[in-house]
Structure 1
Amino acid sequence: MRNKLLLLVGFSAFFIACSPRHASDEIEKEEIVIFNEKDLPDPIVLTGRKYNFPAIINPRYILCIGDYLVVSEKSNDNLLHILDIKSEKYIRSTGKNGFGPREASMVYKLENASEKESFWCYDFEQTIFSKYSVTGDTSKLAESQLRLGEIFHYVKDLTWASDTSLLVTMVDGNDKYFEVSLNGDTLATFGKWGSMMDRKDIPYNVISSIHHGRIKSSPDKSKFISAGSRRNFIDVLNKNSGKILSIRGPIDEIPEFEVDYSLGYPMANMNLETLTVKYLDSFAGSKLIYGLYLGKSFRQISDPDKLNRLFVFDYQGNILNHFALDYPLTSFTVDEKNGIIYGVTIDQDPNVVAFALPEGSLLTE
């Protein structure tokens, strides 16, 4: 049975560089929706069409921009590949690997830019956003770069919240999500890590590490999601209302862990023998949420028995679709206009794969 709970969480101030505007001055409500395997619709098998782009060696992330795909490499002289979806042709590589002007040393995230046919590449090591164009010239250097302030070295994950602000998670503190300016000034805070566990003796940084997830934003930057890789949950933040919906399942349990102080500060020491990967990746669409679910050890990711599944929810937490994929993926993106999921495989010959969604599986109105 699908259960709904309301948590009332007290709100307190946290300072990075200035006094924040809180999502609620007094009390914030976090709604929890719990589901299990019995609540999932029967799985629909999606048969992937795998491409063979020889230049792609070790892909990690993928982004859909109109008629183009951008694929990042884990490590390569060229960090990025640009593909034309319509012609199914490899266009060019870009992103010079290095520490010089308009270079990047790694790709931690790919994000759409406000300009059409442009995208951001975030270098976590250098805390730099680099902007590229899929239709630009043949230079491998970024068109422009944005170096973030010192405070961003203490950020765990981030995504654009507007043209002038970012939504981030921090390495410590009870507040879950911060909207910050590009200078690091706190504009708003949302949610509390203490709401994720009943135990009150666990340090907040330990709770947040157990609930690590990569933040994704909807196209209009009004809603944000974070899907847990270690615990079964998807947080859904409505930035306008400040409310958080937490979708829990298909097994709502906290993984085994101990608080380890051996390095002089608390850390989550997790049992690697029993630890399973939950959500590998997620996508925040205009009206739908997609979660790429593994539910087993990462070492078993390519095991043909029970490959990745894709759960689809609306923003109210209702389960709409349950897809079974025939290729193991590490990340994916959704072309909502044409109803196609693109992913990067993790197998003997990793590359790009496309899955056509069944007609009617997207909410277009």
Structure 2
Amino acid sequence: MNNNFLTFIVFLVFGLGCSPSAEEKGKEAIVIFDEKDLPDPIALRGKKYNFPNIINPRYILCLGDYLVVSEKTKDNLLHILDIKSEKYIRSTGKNGLGPREATMVSKLENASEKESFWCYDLEQTIFSKYSVTGDTSKLADSQLRLGEIFHYVMDLTWASDTSLLVTMVDGNDKFFEVSLNGDTLATYGKWDSMFERKDIPYNVISSIHQGRIKASPDKRKFISAGSRRDFIDVLDKASGKILSIRGPVDEVPEFEVDYSMGYPMAAMNIKTLTVKYLDSFAGEKLIYGLHLGKSFRNISDPDKLNRMFVFDYQGNIVNQYTLDYPLTSFTVDEVNGIIYGVSIDEEPNVVAFKIPD
């Protein structure tokens, strides 16, 4: 297929520019790239901090001059850091089942108020709102308990002040926009577009393509980067169209459909299974994907640490970065051009990478 024809296909579907390889499937367009399509890697050297009380960090969120870091431990659910002055401010998030308490941090999300953020508790299906400049109380400023339907949600992110974009544990629809009560407002994409085979149950397809949903700052674009398959789905909510960026290894991981539990499940081959995207970030104009490409147990091996792939929203590859610290998650300060991540090594903490001009 020649490049002019590829460009024409993508232009018809998304009004986009050229890509390494592309094809149309209904309202979904596919862009495929491999290692030879990646630009030469740029090595980023990280600055590692030594903020106290951080023991086993998991997620990180940038709020201007502040960073929020979540913990896997139960004592300190959240840490507030003043990254500009490099000071540890306080911990917050009281662990418990009482009012304004939480039991775990499944996700960190910006709130509409400046210097405030949401923490999602998957166990209780509760959003808790905190302020980085609030008082010393560890209790949330407010909480929002979601409806019963959210117990069947795989992942979610705010789509507006009154709705959420979610993925469900079953069904052929990829993304649902739902009200806070769980009413379906819109659906986007189909899981069966990911396979040529049509005999695979939808919940098996979706489990193979697990990914955490991230929203652009204006809530117009949404991305989901696969942890088991090399892909990033990009949803344009206004048009309802999805661009699927696949690579650098565009193949379905080995699996069998297992019915031993009474319902179909994806039985993955753990001997050959590798982690693809550990985390992603939807920026104003760019998409960042933290790519591992090897077994998670080898994440800290010095050979081939994390790479960061950067795309625009048309699926064009902009940059490839190599990192000198192993990360599990990250966020981007686009104003100051800094990637902040949490390391997974002997002394995990926050690491900052300056993005070259």
TM-score, length of structure 2 as denominator length: 0.94
Q: CA deviation at 1:53?
A: 1.1
Give me the whole-angstrom Cα distance separating, in 1, the residues matched to 2:334 and 2:159. 21
Q: Does 1:155 align with 2:153?
A: yes
Q: Does 1:192 align with 2:210?
A: no
CA contact (8 A) 2:52 2:88 kept: no
Give me the whole-angstrom Cα distance separating, in 1, the residues matched to 2:151 and 2:74. 24
Give me the whole-angstrom Cα distance separating, in 1, the residues matched to 2:21 and 2:75. 50
Q: CA deviation at 1:76?
A: 2.4
Q: CA deviation at 1:78?
A: 1.7
CA contact (8 A) 2:308 2:321 kept: yes
SS in 1 for 2:297: helix
Q: CA offsets per residue over residues 61-96 of structure 1, 9 Å max, x none?
A: 000001100000012212000000110000000000
- Aligned partner (choices 25, 28, 45) of residue 7 of structure 1: 25
Q: CA offsets per residue over residues 13-35 of structure 1, 9 Å max, x none?
A: xxxxxxxxxxxxxxxx1000000
SS in 2 for 1:78: coil
5 Å-filtered alignment, 1:222-301, equals: 222-301=220-299
SS in 2 for 1:330: strand
The equivalent residue for 1:17 is: none
The equivalent residue for 2:76 is: 78
Q: Does 1:146 align with 2:164?
A: no
Give me the whole-angstrom Cα distance separating, in 2, the residues matched to 1:160 and 1:119. 12
Q: Does 1:311 align with 2:306?
A: no
5 Å-filtered alignment, 1:34-183, equals: 34-183=32-181
Q: CA deviation at 1:251?
A: 0.6
Q: CA deviation at 1:102?
A: 0.3
5 Å-filtered alignment, 1:199-210, equals: 199-210=197-208
Q: CA offsets per residue over residues 269-307 of structure 1, 9 Å max, x none?
A: 000000000000000000000000000000100000000
- Aligned partner (choices 349, 352, 356) of residue 350 of structure 2: 352
Give me the whole-angstrom Cα distance separating, in 2, the residues matched to 1:45 and 1:6. 35
Q: How many residues align?
A: 339
TM-score, length of structure 1 as denominator length: 0.92
SS in 2 for 1:162: coil
Q: CA offsets per residue over residues 308-345 of structure 1, 9 Å max, x none?
A: 00000000000000000000000000000000000000
The equivalent residue for 2:4 is: none
2:324 counterpart letter in structure 1: D
1:119 counterpart letter in structure 2: F
Q: Does 1:30 align with 2:28?
A: yes
1:44 counterpart letter in structure 2: I
Q: CA deviation at 1:113?
A: 0.2
Identity of aligned pairs, percent?
84
Give me the whole-angstrom Cα distance separating, in 2, the residues matched to 1:76 and 1:331. 19
The equivalent residue for 1:332 is: 330
Give me the whole-angstrom Cα distance separating, in 1, the residues matched to 2:235 and 2:228. 19
The equivalent residue for 2:3 is: none
CA contact (8 A) 2:74 2:104 kept: no
Report runs of 4+ in structure 1 exceeding 2 Å deviation.
none
Give me the whole-angstrom Cα distance separating, in 1, the residues matched to 2:73 and 2:150. 23
Q: CA deviation at 1:54?
A: 2.0
SS in 1 for 2:262: coil
2:196 counterpart letter in structure 1: D
SS in 1 for 2:159: strand
Q: CA offsets per residue over residues 251-284 of structure 1, 9 Å max, x none?
A: 1000000000000000000000000000000000
SS in 1 for 2:205: helix
CA contact (8 A) 2:216 2:284 kept: yes
Q: CA deviation at 1:36?
A: 0.2
